[in-house]
Structure 1
Amino acid sequence: MSLLSPHLRVAAVDLGATSGRVMSGRIGGGRVEIDEMHRFPNGAVRVRGSLFWDVLGIHREMLTGIREVARTGPLHGIGIDSWAIDHGLLDHDGQLLGQVFSHRDARVEGVAEKVLAQIGAATLYGTTGIQQLPFNTLYQLVAARGTTVLDAAETMLLLPDLLGYWLTGAIGAERTNASTTQLYDVRQGTWAVDLCRELGLPEGVLPPLRDPGSLLGPLLPDVAQDLGVSGDVPVVAVGSHDTASAVVGVPAEASDFAYISSGTWSLVGLELDRPVLTEEARLADFTNEVGIDKTIRFLKNVMGLWVLSESLRSWSERRYQGSELDPLLAAAAELEPLRTVVDINDPRLLSPGTAADPMPERIAALAAEAGEAIPHSPAAITRCILDSLAVAYRRHVRTAAALAGTSPEVVHVVGGGSQNQLLCQLTADACGLPVLAGPVEAAALGNVLVQGRALGADLPDLPAMRDLVRRSYDVRRFEPRDGLDWAAAEARLPS
């Protein structure tokens, strides 16, 4: 199908850890456009001390959104992207076994240390190239060893693959998401089955790998009937890790650029043509994940705006006056910069806040522990979070560039955080580089573009996709300002 045709229209399911969206995407007339058709809240559900995803509720809402896309125009394809790592286990009959755990569940506590004692950090990194995060899929499966659910499992499906399976009946693991699990051999491009065997994990649960842009298949007859569409509508394996899709949606012109996919998590990194598996990269805890067209996303996971959203939730529950986001950002912009910086990636910020242990009090406690000025008001805590994020971005952009031997000319910020003008300006100041902010819906755009190419649109490579984004969406430019000692602020954080 040519880009001159106005008729390529797809449904892009874009799932985040706090909300999900189903977008209609159109490619034609030299433009790509998306419209939100359905949005729904998402979040982990606590049951008897454990955190689970309401995956059946996500599936229901996804169908509602796809149905709305089909109701309002032609539907030529469906693609699904989401956060990484979390998964469901299927039995021999293809039925879901148990609940789908959230990666923030406490069952993985202490597991990584046991695995590293057995395998060795250098060996593990040399195979998988993945950042040490305590909730990686590898550690979730190790935590499940000996359980009835894992013993009965026939297949493990990451969340987008599970949802795609329910649409099509096709079993597989899309490669960009598989590469985040710490079960993928980044050198060989295969599952790391020897690693599974050494850890006593059933490698048979690992499904066949598939590349982004491959077709899962047509809809199952009952699904097509339920959606009111033709049974030959294909489901496309897009870059199902949302960051892989988001990087496709970066409207980059320069060949050397850094990016920050800014949302619940911040993914800070570079796009490379090969992994960086040096000891220096391991010690810096950078990750090598597969991107579109055999690229490598060399990046660092940073806690991101999760910390601010959890603080906002806490203030709302306690009915604090003036704790809405826009007034808080305006007030935070007037406060003394860099008065308080904390390690925004401290593991104590990982789990959801509770009434007994709210997120704002955790931030204040980290500040006190580090000898920083203790922020008390919501505005001061907000400023602390944003300053700390900008300092972390500075550190990781510079570290990535040094490890990869590149010199980024610009930082692209995409995702929800690109709307936060204060954070974007602080990021430009901290990195000493221009920041280009937007588009907000980069992950959905990448989803649509990969579908479009699979369905015949003239999008032969990433530059062609990004050129289409540039012609379709405006971005806001933030120039770096002088005057603050960001190096000194960074030196106040743990190395």
Structure 2
Amino acid sequence: METKHFIAVDLGATSGRVILATVGAESLETETLHRFPNRLLCLDGKYCWNIYGLYEEIVEGLRLAGRRSVRIESIGIDTWGVDMAFVAEDGTLAGLPRSYRDPYTDGIPEAFFGKMPRREVYDRTGIQFMNFNSLYQLCAARKEGCAALKHASKILFMPDALSYLLTGEAVCEYTVLSTSQFMNPHTKRPDAELLAAAGIDASLFPRVVMPGERIGVLTDAAARDTGLGKLPVIAVAGHDTGSAVAAVPAENERFAYLSSGTWSLMGIEAAEPVIDDRTYTLNFTNEGGVDGTVRLLKNITGMWLLEQCRAAWTKEGKEYSYPEIMRMTEAAAPSGATIDPDAAEFAAPTDMPAAIRAYCREHGLNEPADDGAMMRLIFDSLAAKYAEVLRKLQGLAPFEIECLHVIGGGAQNDLLNRMTATACGIPVVAGPSEATALGNVMVQARTAGMAGSLAEMRQRIRRSIATKRYNPEKQ
């Protein structure tokens, strides 16, 4: 099989990368060509994404690719979900996309449930309730009298807006649409009645495309500027978690996954959405995956607690490296009792160690005696939370869950993976840490004829990357 080259653009809420991937018959290699920050802009009290800055950084990465003496097959873009850009009648973007971090949606869901009951919203979408879901962002924009929305001719999600800037073609990619809480998971199209209740015309959303479909080719200007010519842009799983799950190196369908980083998402892959009393009560979400699959999952706070503690300790002059944190955590005694990482008190505290100590006092738990004990409490609590969510998934899954695949940055956290395997009572398989980029690449590679089914894509990844297995330990 001929070796081929692809470009994956992988954007997170704090940084982005342009990656050159080389795919052969038995190989899969990636190289980061360009890495750049993604910073929120606060304009007149509104938190926005600098989409033009992101576009410039992407083009710079493409220029670097254009200087390589290799033939690029295509480009694919993935980003976070829910956020949107508005396109004016003349085809230009109207203003900057609002960020899900903006509190302008506070109280909006409760107001919307006066128009359509909460349970009906869930039954129509299967999406868990979060203030920042796209549905409530649109309601908030209308409430503010947002001129960009009022005069919009199209609404595009973030990966689609960036593809639009590159190609001039407007699409609505399935996996990122599925994060909105206004997609019908059975038709995989926007729910016109639900949007009407929000005062939005469903026709503002362009044609829905599935991962692997061609969006268009680089505009004349982009083709010249990058030196890549009229390169195709392919719709990958535009939602980054959708791309990451596509890269789970599973041997069969009987697995759960944990996309682990600052935030964690634990779920299973299903053929059809699971929307019933159990998933409603547990607030599980049904998001789209590659090949029309459904990601039945739960959002969990991940290493956010440790990262915020580390920031607070740094202000106190205590710089702990990650190797030091691992040694201190393992040396500390087991916590005995745990905190709930998803508690509201930990969402955005000014001092995370103080917030954790206050939570312990409030709930009758022993406060951590020192920083090492605080680290151990966080790790013990995360492992316990993962085990709790896994038990719920085991009650929902139509199959026996045989192992937990940990993907993303957390795949490199040896200690937490060991603790998770023991807490969950099933093997943990860690890797790849670069799952999002690999899933993005393999969707493009399949479009280029280098793989067939989703199972074949995963087989290629399994052969190309190293994983590590952790078995439960006796306690």
TM-score w.r.t. structure 2 length? 0.95
State the match for 2:378 in structure 1.
385
Counterpart check, 1:55 vs 2:41: no
Equivalent position to 2:94, from 94, 97, 101: 97
State the match for 1:187 in structure 2.
186
2:356 aligned partner, one-letter code? I
Deviation (angstroms), 1:340 = 5.1
**Cα distance in 1 for residues equivalent to 2:358 and 2:42:** 25
**Cα distance in 1 for residues equivalent to 2:448 and 2:343:** 43
Deviation (angstroms), 1:441 = 0.5
Q: Does the aligned pair in 1 maintain the 2:446–2:457 contact within 8 Å?
A: no
Runs (4+) of structure 1 exceeding 4 A deviation are none
State the match for 1:491 in structure 2.
none
2:97 aligned partner, one-letter code? V
State the match for 1:152 in structure 2.
151
State the match for 1:65 in structure 2.
61
**Cα distance in 2 for residues equivalent to 1:34 and 1:376:** 44
1:402 aligned partner, one-letter code? G
**Cα distance in 1 for residues equivalent to 2:286 and 2:179:** 8
Deviation (angstroms), 1:319 = 4.9
Q: Does the aligned pair in 2 maintain the 1:312–1:324 contact within 8 Å?
A: no
Deviation (angstroms), 1:65 = 1.8
SS in 1 for 2:180: coil
Deviation (angstroms), 1:305 = 2.2
Q: Does the aligned pair in 1 maintain the 2:246–2:439 contact within 8 Å?
A: yes
**Cα distance in 2 for residues equivalent to 1:21 and 1:467:** 25
Distance 1:45 1:387, change over 3 A: farther
**Cα distance in 1 for residues equivalent to 2:96 and 2:353:** 30
**Cα distance in 2 for residues equivalent to 1:221 and 1:88:** 23
SS in 2 for 1:229: coil
SS in 2 for 1:12: strand
State the match for 2:248 in structure 1.
250
Offset from partner CA, 1:16-40 (integer Å, 9 cap, x none): 1222111111111322221222222
SS in 2 for 1:266: strand
Offset from partner CA, 1:353-411 (integer Å, 9 cap, x none): 5xxx2333333333332222223644333333222221221111221221233221000
Distance 1:44 1:345, change over 3 A: farther
Distance 1:117 1:323, change over 3 A: farther
Distance 1:100 1:386, change over 3 A: farther
Equivalent position to 1:240, from 224, 238, 241: 238
Offset from partner CA, 1:395-434 (integer Å, 9 cap, x none): 1122122123322100000000111111111111111111
**Cα distance in 2 for residues equivalent to 1:275 and 1:79:** 26
2:303 aligned partner, one-letter code? L
Equivalent position to 1:324, from 321, 328, 331: 321
State the match for 2:206 in structure 1.
207
Offset from partner CA, 1:453-485 (integer Å, 9 cap, x none): 11222x1111101110111011011111121xx
Q: Does the aligned pair in 2 maintain the 1:328–1:378 contact within 8 Å?
A: no
Counterpart check, 1:44 vs 2:40: yes
State the match for 2:5 in structure 1.
9
**Cα distance in 2 for residues equivalent to 1:323 and 1:123:** 48
For structure 2, the residue ranges without an aligned partner over 5 or more in a row are: none
SS in 2 for 1:463: helix
Counterpart check, 1:449 vs 2:442: yes
Deviation (angstroms), 1:339 = 4.0
Deviation (angstroms), 1:80 = 0.5
SS in 2 for 1:85: coil
Deviation (angstroms), 1:164 = 0.5
Equivalent position to 2:362, from 369, 374, 380: 369
**How is 1:304-343 mapped onto 2 (pairs within 5 angstroms)?**
304-316=302-314, 318-339=315-336, 341-343=338-340
Deviation (angstroms), 1:202 = 3.3
Offset from partner CA, 1:49-106 (integer Å, 9 cap, x none): 4322222222222222222223223211100111111111111112222222221211
Distance 1:482 1:301, change over 3 A: same
**Cα distance in 2 for residues equivalent to 1:349 and 1:120:** 29
State the match for 1:78 in structure 2.
75
SS in 2 for 1:100: coil
SS in 1 for 2:269: strand
**Cα distance in 1 for residues equivalent to 2:113 and 2:381:** 29
**Cα distance in 2 for residues equivalent to 1:246 and 1:392:** 21
SS in 2 for 1:124: helix
State the match for 2:463 in structure 1.
471
Equivalent position to 2:135, from 117, 135, 138: 138
**Cα distance in 2 for residues equivalent to 1:84 and 1:476:** 29
Q: Does the aligned pair in 1 maintain the 2:183–2:189 contact within 8 Å?
A: yes
**Cα distance in 2 for residues equivalent to 1:163 and 1:376:** 48
2:302 aligned partner, one-letter code? G
Q: Does the aligned pair in 2 maintain the 1:322–1:328 contact within 8 Å?
A: no
Counterpart check, 1:24 vs 2:17: no
RMSD: 1.7
State the match for 1:493 in structure 2.
none
Distance 1:376 1:162, change over 3 A: farther
Quote the sequence identity (%).
Answer: 39
SS in 2 for 1:310: helix
Distance 1:315 1:53, change over 3 A: farther
State the match for 2:169 in structure 1.
170
**Cα distance in 2 for residues equivalent to 1:43 and 1:421:** 30
Counterpart check, 1:302 vs 2:300: yes
Counterpart check, 1:406 vs 2:406: no
Q: Does the aligned pair in 1 maintain the 2:260–2:411 contact within 8 Å?
A: yes
State the match for 1:222 in structure 2.
221
**Cα distance in 2 for residues equivalent to 1:379 and 1:69:** 45
**Cα distance in 1 for residues equivalent to 2:284 and 2:148:** 32
Equivalent position to 2:352, from 351, 355, 359: 359
Distance 1:346 1:328, change over 3 A: same
**Cα distance in 2 for residues equivalent to 1:122 and 1:463:** 35
SS in 2 for 1:439: coil
Distance 1:14 1:329, change over 3 A: same
The worse-fitting range, judged by mean Cα deviation, of 45-54 and 148-157 is 45-54
Q: Does the aligned pair in 2 maintain the 1:340–1:367 contact within 8 Å?
A: no
TM-score w.r.t. structure 1 length? 0.91
State the match for 1:111 in structure 2.
108
The worse-fitting range, judged by mean Cα deviation, of 147-156 and 42-51 is 42-51
**Cα distance in 2 for residues equivalent to 1:369 and 1:97:** 47
Q: Does the aligned pair in 1 maintain the 2:138–2:198 contact within 8 Å?
A: no
Q: Does the aligned pair in 2 maintain the 1:257–1:410 contact within 8 Å?
A: yes
SS in 1 for 2:10: strand
**Cα distance in 2 for residues equivalent to 1:378 and 1:97:** 48
State the match for 2:119 in structure 1.
122
For structure 1, the residue ranges without an aligned partner over 5 or more in a row are: 484-495
**Cα distance in 2 for residues equivalent to 1:329 and 1:42:** 28
The worse-fitting range, judged by mean Cα deviation, of 221-230 and 332-341 is 332-341
